[in-house]
Structure 1
């Protein structure tokens, strides 16, 4: 096992909130480490919707997930934090001096004075179709995420799902696909109102329907059977591509055993992003508190709040003044 030096703060989770938190931690002049369990930074955005257009970030009318991650990575590097990918943190030990030892599943040890958890839902896995034979189409035209939009150009795309992901992908594909059909097991979609309205006006929506069977040759689906969940009526649809957005399962691994207060799979925090364990803070999709805003922009506020709380934890006697990039020496001198 190997261990490097002591850090002021270790951020676990390299998605958008973790990356912005790393930048702000540098602003606060803390020695910062960021650890991401996956092979690359960006979290859920990089994994599931790199080509999806994001429109709910202030000051950025539209940006793809991949471009947003690239900008966040550049910003996070401003104060040269230590960034490690491909390590999943599992173990936690608190030493007599109040510092923490974090252990990865590979056996690496990280020494830190505070911790900020921006782990989202943990290791992400899409909820797959529970239909016999579905696995053989995963190398063909059955998709649980969308990498390149061009493969759907001029095709009939069937989307199964009713949340934000399904609605947003329908709207992304409408300009390039020949036809977009969306089926959902409930009558109402759970996406943002304006996005649902746009989809409903331009795509074919079938509710309450669910996939019942897949029909094809080799690894290619040619048609599907769908079932009306109230009448039991079935019908067949000829399709070119199938996208399944039935949600994501998250696995926090060993973090579940740290003794953190949880509610519905999220860390309970107060308005200072403090968990029930002193010195451990959390932000982003990983947390819950009254009136939580489940947007990336909400996490961009929670991250700096967690950083400020970590700074205050390290220097409890020092008043924590507001800090703005427009006043920071690094940017003023530039």
Structure 2
């Protein structure tokens, strides 16, 4: 049976994977994305309402909007997209062709692989306070899907990272009061964000959530405890949001492939090459000395990974694609856009 061999298979459909699909299209590569879930977006799907400020060239925008724009862009050159499959096996034959086996039993063939599985399998770190689970269906939250829920409410947020601080800033615009409880004196979020947060919310440091007090399945007040003195304070609340981060198993079966790895991901060179020829990486799954863990950084990783994959297949190829303004791949698409613009006027 004839094998359908792709130039590149991208494992993972988050921001790195989607941009890699777009850029590989610019490089005229036959491309496939394999996404374990049934939608693209990756970890960004956990905070669709979050306002994202740090993507170059665009004004602050909801994460859901960025996801939709990335999906549209990823489909520009019609890559094959496979949903609901987790890659569990990899082999490379004598001709240098990789075969990837999915948990469904389907086998995918390619000349190169780009690992873009992001944070991999993640599990929310829940609040370790007795009885917390009974409030999860009411006013104890681990993510935000509707900001209006917090309108005119007293909101307590537990956490000290970017998510906790960013949500405090956004929720403060709607809420009656916002308290941010963090177990250390210093927050691990961006300094400018911490400054903005402290201007609109009450920061309690170093404190932890000690007890939840409720009526039925609804929290009515929270006891917080000072980490050093054990002094306690009671705060009346309407909503509680916990942002303690995620436990992650970043590689899944990929860790069994024998790739060099470190605590924070698969090791790559500055050109996104892993320790195995023909396999490259991009986004949160990879790490090196210059790694930037931003969405913008994922885009840069994707470009480097695709360029490395292209040259791996044919060392005589250019080391990068022509920019879009001078790239023949966009000629017909530019003509289509011009015609649409004329017809709309």
- TM-score (norm: length of structure 1): 0.96
Q: Which residue of 1 aligns with 2:309?
A: 310
Aligned ranges 1:97-246 → 2 under 5 Å: 97-246=95-244
Distance in 2 between the 1:10 and 1:120 partners?
15
Query: What displacement does 1:322 show?
Result: 4.1
Q: Which residue of 2 aligns with 1:60?
A: 58
Q: Which residue of 2 aligns with 1:72?
A: 70
- How big is each residue's C-alpha offset from its partner over 1:3-57, in whole Å with a ceiling of 9 and x where there is no partner? 97211111111111111110001111111011111222111111x2101111111
Q: Which residue of 2 aligns with 1:20?
A: 19
Distance in 2 between the 1:107 and 1:3 partners?
17
- How big is each residue's C-alpha offset from its partner over 1:171-202, in whole Å with a ceiling of 9 and x where there is no partner? 11111111110000000111111111010111
- How big is each residue's C-alpha offset from its partner over 1:101-132, in whole Å with a ceiling of 9 and x where there is no partner? 11222322211111101111202221111222
Verify: 1:49 aligned to 2:47, yes or no: yes
Kindly indicate whether the alpha-carbon contact (under 8 Å) linking 1:3 and 1:108 is maintained by their aligned counterparts in 2. Answer: no
Q: Which residue of 1 aligns with 2:298?
A: 299
Q: Which residue of 2 aligns with 1:35?
A: 34
Q: Which residue of 2 aligns with 1:259?
A: 258
- Return 5+ residue gaps in structure 1 as ranges: none
RMSD: 1.6
Q: How many residues align?
A: 332
Distance in 1 between the 2:41 and 2:2 partners?
25
Q: 1:157 to 1:98 in 2, by over 3 A?
A: same
Kindly indicate whether the alpha-carbon contact (under 8 Å) linking 1:3 and 1:110 is maintained by their aligned counterparts in 2. Answer: no
Distance in 2 between the 1:44 and 1:288 partners?
17
- How big is each residue's C-alpha offset from its partner over 1:77-115, in whole Å with a ceiling of 9 and x where there is no partner? 100001122222121111221111112223222111111
Kindly indicate whether the alpha-carbon contact (under 8 Å) linking 1:6 and 1:112 is maintained by their aligned counterparts in 2. Answer: yes
Q: Which residue of 2 aligns with 1:274?
A: 273
Distance in 1 between the 2:202 and 2:113 partners?
47
Q: 1:127 to 1:215 in 2, by over 3 A?
A: same
Q: 1:324 to 1:208 in 2, by over 3 A?
A: same
Query: What displacement does 1:321 show?
Result: 4.9
Q: Which residue of 1 aligns with 2:339?
A: none
